[in-house]
Amino acid sequence: MQSEIETAARKNLARVLETDVAPQDIDLDEDMVGRYGLTSLNKVLFLMSACDDAGVDLSSFTEPDVAAMSTLRDVTEALSRHAGKVA
């Protein structure tokens, strides 16, 4: 069963991809750039939307944190660590 964060992340990633991929068809462990063609601009847009949906402040992440998020699992785990924290 998917968590709310994973569901939101899948939806937001699918929305910014240039290829037509259904949210449920995105592999959590595939490289988002290599497999799905995620551009750096679309990664920022995706993370902004995913953070909004998860209630996580984007400023919770440093540039190296964002750079290390290469798979959807990386993103959902990072969001889960920060969800519910009050800045």
Task: Please report the pLDDT score of residue 46 as a whole number.
Answer: 98
Task: Please report the pLDDT score of residue 2 as a whole number.
Answer: 62
Beta bridge partners of 71: 31
Task: Please report the pLDDT score of residue 85 as a whole number.
Answer: 64
Q: Which residues of the chain have pLDDT under 50?
A: 87
Listed in sequence order, the residues at least 6 apart from 29 whose beta carbon sits closer than 8 Å to its beta carbon are: 71, 72, 73
Helices of type H across 4-71: 4-16, 32-36, 40-54, 63-68
Task: Please report the pLDDT score of residue 83 as a whole number.
Answer: 86
CA distances from 12 to 18, 22, 56 (A): 12, 11, 14
